[in-house]
Amino acid sequence: MPSSPKIRFRDTQIEMAHGAGGKASRRLVEGLIVPLLGGPLTGPLGDAAPVNMNGTRLAITTDSFVVKPLRFPGGSIGELAVNGTVNDLAVSGARAETLVVSFILEAGLPTEVLEQEVRALAAAAQRAGAAIAGGDTKVVEHGKADRMYITSCGIGRPIEGVEVAPASVRPGDRILISGPIGDHGITILLARGELDLEADLCSDTRSVLPLVEAMAAAAAPGIRWMRDPTRGGLATSLNELALDCGLGIYLAEEKIPVRDTVRGACELLGLEPMHIANEGQFVAVVAPEFADAALAALCAAPGGQDAAMIGEVRETPAATVLAGTAYGGTRVVDMLVGDPLPRIC
């Protein structure tokens, strides 16, 4: 008889923080879900899983969307459901080819709302060059769900020459970001209208595949690792990398692109821009000899003009992300703890 898997998750109930993408999410996934479904962890958890079908290498991923409100400046849940899955594949070094989508609908949802979202989904899939091959629809009683939720699943083929893994990250590697951070999370926060704050800001939701491809064309052998910093933000993605590779990540704070509106909202609300969700950016670790070419390719690609080199990998402090200021002060940048902004995607 196989020995029973070791469950390390001890929390007695599920709370919003377990879905926030930060520390609690990691504990839940690694402490309960992975041991029961996948046995002992054989490697770090990525955004998509590699599968080998009779010698054909593929990548597969799935993601659920529960964003509130359904529509927000710059996008909607239908668009997110495609872009989120396409991006998870892209940062795993794969080009999305086929998607399937499932809808969970609350009785009473106006058909018009559903139609808008299905249209948004179709348009986003077309832009991303992915086919929607199937799906499912369930309806629950009024009051048992919040209007609509979408789950999407995607399969992709490898982008030529791109091999990403935390284990290949080395001291001296550079950290690149594809554009300004925090737009999506702050847009959603403001769109809820609870704050009496207004700002001219849009979600950044988009497929990052064209940017990843542009970077790969210029620097594929130098790309070590990529991630799309959604829930938990840039800080959480880089902390996961630091834990997975055991090295230190040093960020030059003033180089990280953040729009003034996002900075202003964060200052007012006591939030850290590096903890805010993005839906159309990715962070990459690139070997130093390829870093300039990678950045130039990103900046030259449409929508990549704000890409920046924001830091480097160092030997120490081990498994830690550190931000330095232009005047020589430093601080540790931790993962997101708790859930300041629930249901962001």
Q: Which is nearer to other proteins, 128 or 258 (CB)?
A: 258
Residue 15 in contact with other proteins, rule: CB under 8 A? yes
Spatial CA neighbour of 105 closest among 160, 49, 57, 144: 144
Residue 49 in contact with other proteins, rule: CB under 8 A? no
- Longest Cα–Cα distance of the chain, Å, equals 61
Residue 16 in contact with other proteins, rule: CB under 8 A? yes
Classified as helix, coil or strand, 105 is strand
Upstream peptide bond of 317 is cis (omega within 30 degrees of 0): yes
Name the H helices within 66-172. 77-90, 111-128
The window from 147-155, 282-290, 295-303, 319-327 that contacts other proteins (CB under 8 A) reads 319-327
- From residue 159 to residue 198, the character string flagging contacts with other proteins as x (rule: CB under 8 A) and all else as - is -----------------------------------xx---
Asked if 310 and 300 count as a contact pair (C-beta separation under 8 A), the reply is no
Asked if 77 and 139 count as a contact pair (C-beta separation under 8 A), the reply is no
Residue 318 in contact with other proteins, rule: CB under 8 A? yes
Upstream peptide bond of 180 is cis (omega within 30 degrees of 0): no
The window from 48-56, 86-94, 292-300, 333-341 that contacts other proteins (CB under 8 A) reads 333-341
Burial of 329 (0-12, 13-18, 19+ CB in 10 A): exposed
Please give the residues from 260 up to 299 whose contact with other proteins meets the rule CB under 8 A.
Answer: 260, 263-264, 267, 270
Residue 8 in contact with other proteins, rule: CB under 8 A? no
The window from 76-84, 85-93, 199-207, 306-314 that contacts other proteins (CB under 8 A) reads 306-314
Please give the residues from 80 up to 139 whose contact with other proteins meets the rule CB under 8 A.
Answer: none
Q: Which is nearer to other proteins, 13 or 52 (CB)?
A: 13
Q: What is the rounded distance in angstroms from the CA atom of residue 268 to the CA atom of residue 278?
A: 19
Q: Which residues contact 224 (CB under 8 A, 6 or more apart)?
A: 164, 165, 168, 169, 170, 173, 284, 285, 286, 287
- From residue 235 to residue 254, the character string flagging contacts with other proteins as x (rule: CB under 8 A) and all else as - is ---------------x-x-x
Which residues contribute to the site for other proteins (CB under 8 A)? 13-17, 23-24, 194-195, 250, 252, 254-255, 260, 263-264, 267, 270, 309, 311-312, 314-318, 320, 322, 324-332, 334, 337-338, 340
